[in-house]
Amino acid sequence: MKLSTTTDLNDQVAVVTGASQGLGKAVAIALGMNGATVVCLARNAAKLADTVKEIEAAGGKAEAVSCDVTDRTAAAAAIQGAKDTHGRLDILINNAGITRDKLMRGMSDEEWDDVIATNLTSCFVCCRAAAGIMRRSKYGRIINMASISGLIGNPGQANYSASKAGMIGLTRTLSKELISRGVTVNAVAPGFIASEMTAELGEVVLAEAKKRIPAKRLGEAEDVAAAVLFLASKDAGYITGQTLVVDGGIVS
C-alpha cells in the first residue's frame, strides 16, 4: 500500500472490525504503517493472518482475533480484550459489513436481519464497549464506516441503506455523548470503491456506476484509508459527529 498521508499513531492501540479484506484490511494496514498496534477482528482466521502479515511486513505491529461481531458477547469481549492485552484502546474502526441486495418486495426477514445485525448492531455493541474504556482514559477516536447508500439510498439495498443511515445517526448521537470526555465519533461514507464487495456487482453495473461519478473512476482503498487516518489523528480532536464523504463527487 502507498499512502502520502501520514500521522503519528505510535504507542496507540487500534481495533478494526472486518479487517480480513477490502476497506477494513486497507485501513488496518494504514494504521499499522503509522505506528499503531492494530487488533484485527473478523470471522475468517486465514484472511486475518494475511492482514497481520502485511502489517508486520510494513514494519507495524498487529494481532489477529477471530470474532463474529454479530455475537454481542464475543464482540464486547474482543474490545475489552484488546485493552487488557495491550494496556489501552485509542482507536476503534467499525468496518464489518455485508450486503444482501434485493428489491424490498422480495427481501426476506433473514436478509434484513443479517445486514442490520452485522452492519449496525455490531457497531453499537463495539462502540458501547470501547466508549467505557475511552471515557476513563479521556481520549479516543471512534470511526464508523458508513456509505453514501446511507445518505442517498440505492434501489435493492433497503437493508444496507438503512443500516448505514443508522450508523450515521448513531455517530451523531454518540459524538454528543462522548466529546466532553475527549472521545470523538465520526463516520466515513465511501462511494463506489474498488473492493471485493463492489467486484461482485459485475462489470456492467460498475461501468454504469462510473458514469454517475464526477471523478469518472472508482475510488481506491487508499482514498478511504487516508480519510480514516486523518480522523484517527490527534489533529482531528475538534471534529466530531461528522460524516466525511469519499465518493468522487456523487453526493454534493
Dihedral Cα 136, 225, 186, 235, nearest 10 deg: 70
pLDDT score, position 119: 98
Within-domain flag for 233: yes
pLDDT for res 2: 73
pLDDT at 212 over 80: yes
State what percent of residues in the chain have pLDDT above 90. 87
In angstroms, the CA 76 to CA 140 distance is: 17
Q: Is residue 160 helix, strand or coil?
A: helix
Total domains, the chain? 1
What DSSP element (H or E) covers 142? Answer: strand 140-145
Residue 151 is assigned to a structural domain of this protein: yes
| pLDDT at position 207 | 81
Indicate the length of the chain as a whole number: 252
Q: Where are the alpha helices (DSSP H) in 60-157?
A: 72-86, 109-115, 122-137, 149-152
Averaged pLDDT, 129-153: 98
Q: Is 139 one of the annotated active-site residues of the chain? A: no
Q: Report the CATH number at residue 198.
A: 3.40.50.720
Q: 97 φ, ψ to 5°?
A: -165, 155
251 located within any domain: no
**Residue 5 within any structural domain of the chain:** no
User: Could you tell me which residues are beta bridge partners of residue 188?
Assistant: 145, 244
**Phi, psi (degrees; rounded to nearest 5) at 193:** -115, 135
Is there a domain that residue 1 lies in?
A: no
Residue 4's pLDDT band (cuts 50, 70, 90) = confident
- Supply the range of the domain harboring residue 42: 13-244
Nearest to 52 by CA among 67, 63, 37: 63
The answer to whether residues 16 and 60 touch, using CB atoms and an 8 Å cutoff, is no
Name the nearest CA neighbour of 27 among 110, 117, 92, 100.
Answer: 92
Query: For the whole model, what pTM was predicted?
Result: 0.95
Give pLDDT tens digits for 22-59.
999 999 999 999 999 999 999 999 999 999 999 999 99
* 120, 146 contact by CB (below 8 A): no
Question: What pLDDT score was predicted for residue 140?
Answer: 98
The Cα 159–Cα 121 span in angstroms is 13
The answer, yes or no, to whether residue 196 has pLDDT greater than 80, is no
Of 7, 41, 82, 160, the catalytic one is 160
The verdict on residue 140 lying in a domain is yes
With 80 as the cut, is the pLDDT of residue 115 above it?
yes
Q: Provide the pLDDT for residue 92.
A: 99
Kindly report which listed range (35-39, 127-131, 197-201, 247-251) carries the lowest average pLDDT score.
197-201
- pLDDT digit string (tens) for 90-100? 999 999 999 99
d(CA 205, CA 220): 17
Quick check: is 156 in a domain? yes
Q: Which residues pair with 144 in a beta bridge?
A: 94, 187
Please, which pLDDT band fits residue 16 given cuts at 50, 70 and 90?
very high
